[in-house]
A and B are shown apart, each in its own frame.
Chain A
Amino acid sequence: MEDTIIKTENIVFKKTELLTDNELSYCPGCGHGTAHRIIMEVIDEMGIQADTIGVAPVGCSVLAYDFMNIDMQQAAHGRAPAVATGIKRVLPEKFVFTYQGDGDLAAIGTAETIHVCNRGEHFTMIFINNGIYGMTGGQMAPTTLPGMKSSTSPYGRDVEMMGHPLKMTELIANLPGTCFVTRQAVHTPSAVRKAKKAVRKAFELQKEKKGISFVEIVSNCNSGWKMTPVQSNKWMEDNMFPYYPMGDIKLPE
């Protein structure tokens, strides 16, 4: 009986080859683990492990290199695009990607993000947007929604005083150095499949050297939002998706 179960055609899921055996440091229910998995699956399926260098940010995913079984560099807060520029410029034939949260990519690293997207560096940016600073304990992010509570906007984000949530993805889609800009999610099986296709496309585009391929993944932060994982996914659909609509924003010509 057991023999038949492990027949190749019967396998519907197995451990992702390019994830290490280290225990994930993310909260149960968080989207980071799934986002890591689909990137590693894409690298595995493309057979480019030996040709890929990733850049980890500062934030919840600062330890991404503990889980992704590839060569990686850990960048200072917000500087992943500059670090990736340094890597890709000296190793132009390699696949390079950054993996960044909203604070890293859209607050402290805004200048670096805008400029790599404007220069048209040939790497992939994965942007995890959960509208909050998870690692430091739930402070307001540049993408925190109007009225949304965080530890530094305890009465809700007052846009008059604290400014508006930044739609970084729409912003960089306007820049000539981006070739593929899309917004995805990883909270349902169908969303995961779509997000994985987008990540694959983003990595494939690096071969064509047309500029930045950019995948935003709108994600949850059940700990920071103080909800159960299920509640947080529902809240994300009801509140985050209307402000950050799913789908492709810019497609390669």
Chain B
Amino acid sequence: MSELRLMKGNEAIAEAAIRAGADAYFGYPITPQSEVLEYLMAEKPNERTGMVVLQAESEVAAINMIYGAAGCGKKVITSSSSPGISLMQEGISYIASSELPCVLVNVVRGGPGLGTIQPSQADYFQSTKGGGHGDYHLIVLAPNSVQEMSDFVKNAFDYAFKYRTPVMIQTDGAIGQMMEKVELFNQEKRSKEIPSWATVGKPKERERNIITSLDLQAEVMEKRNHKLQAKYKKIEENVTLFEEVACDDAEYLMVAYGTSSRICQKTIQLALKKGIKVGLLRPITLWPFPKKQIAKLAEQVKGILSVEMSTGQMIEDVKLAVEGKIKVEHFGRMGGMIPSPDEILTALENQIIGG
């Protein structure tokens, strides 16, 4: 039996981690996501499932605890918010290069710098273009409801283990803090399976397992890069997710994810009252980006408004998908401000329809 609960997005992440059978959570408090660690500590997951929860001394330590436990083949998850995720980047690069599965949650807040604690989507570049050093990608899932905060934790673990790669759930302070009804999935057992590559102690008969991202010979390191890129290609072919709203007969299109996509749904209704047919393409995976679908819709609509709570980051990927065929403009608020449905409609009218 599934269970209905009214929860904050951050709490849903935490509860979903326990129910997905996670082995460990390591994290450090930062607003607006501290409820994840608080909820986990209060729930005593060690008694519920045997899951380990530890408050690290920093985000730097937390991500390296994740590396260590992930290297043992365990299901591990951490969460933080923008400045904390910046601190984790070196570790994330190591994890990607060492091909370790794990789930990272970024409850994005306004930046740059210490910024603000209000919601933002300005970490798009960091999440989708690498973030840390070197050539790598994360699978990036962008929930737009508390329900998806819960569901995507489970999906993220599945992708992480299927592709041996870190998966990021990029959400924001609005979804992290708001309360909605959630249908929680049933408790899953923690896996006892030990992956063949895991460092759990070397029995006499097998070769030792080494978790490392170091190859001093450039030729060997290039091979590692080729292998990673081949995997990313496979992920692009198999894990590109999106949702379409009112796209069938749309004359204009908005592209928006997360909180912005929720606001754009209201904009669609407001526009319709004015006789404007605008649809919404909502990327669910920010990487891989649904560029084929956007290219397809660019054949149908007259112009695209990319809506993001940033100075205009995702628009670069939208433009790459559209290849200059139609007009693409950005509208967004920055630094923790959330746009209203009216503001977006006005932007659509001024920048796309009238512009």
Query: A residues near B, CB below 8 A?
Result: 48-53, 55-56, 62-63, 65, 69-76, 79, 82-87, 89-91, 94, 111-112, 115
Contacts and interface: CB of A to CB of B under 8 A. Distances in A.
A71 to B, nearest CB: 4
Given A53-B200, A56-B212, A90-B23, 12 more contacts: A73-B67, A75-B64, A75-B67, A76-B67, A79-B91, A82-B60, A82-B61, A82-B65, A85-B54, A94-B201, A111-B61, A115-B56
A76 B214 contact: no
B52 interface: yes
Given A50-B202, A73-B211, A111 B57 contact: yes
B230 to A, nearest CB: 23
A53 B201 CA distance: 6
Contact of B64 (A49, A70, A83): A83
B199 A87 contact: yes
B42 interface: no
Which 9 pairs show the lowest CB-CB distances between chains A and B? A86-B68, A82-B64, A86-B65, A83-B68, A86-B69, A74-B212, A71-B199, A79-B64, A73-B211
A89 B76 CA distance: 12
B202 A69 contact: yes
A89 B45 CA distance: 14
Contacts of A48: 201
A187 to B, nearest CB: 28
Nearest to B26: A86
Contacts of A72: 199, 208-212
Contacts of B213: 74
Interface residues of B, number: 39
A79 B210 contact: no
17 contacts: A50-B204, A70-B202, A71-B210, A73-B67, A76-B91, A79-B67, A79-B91, A82-B56, A82-B60, A82-B65, A83-B67, A86-B64, A86-B71, A87-B71, A90-B74, A94-B200, A115-B56
A236 to B, nearest CB: 29
A74 B68 contact: no
Nearest to A112: B61
A143 to B, nearest CB: 22
Contacts of A70: 201-202, 208
Interface string B81-109: 00000000011001000000000000000
Contacts of A73: 67-68, 71, 199, 210-212
B208 A76 contact: no
Contact of A52 (B76, B201, B211): B201
B66 interface: yes
Contacts, number: 128
A79 B90 CA distance: 11
Nearest to A49: B202
Contacts of B174: none
Contacts of B68: 55, 73, 75, 82-87
Contacts of B24: 86, 89-90
A71 B198 CA distance: 8
B181 to A, nearest CB: 33
A89 B210 contact: no
A49 B201 contact: yes
B58 interface: yes
A71 B61 contact: no
A56 B98 CA distance: 14
Contacts of A91: 72, 200
A73 B214 CA distance: 11
Contact of A65 (B26, B64, B69, B210): B210
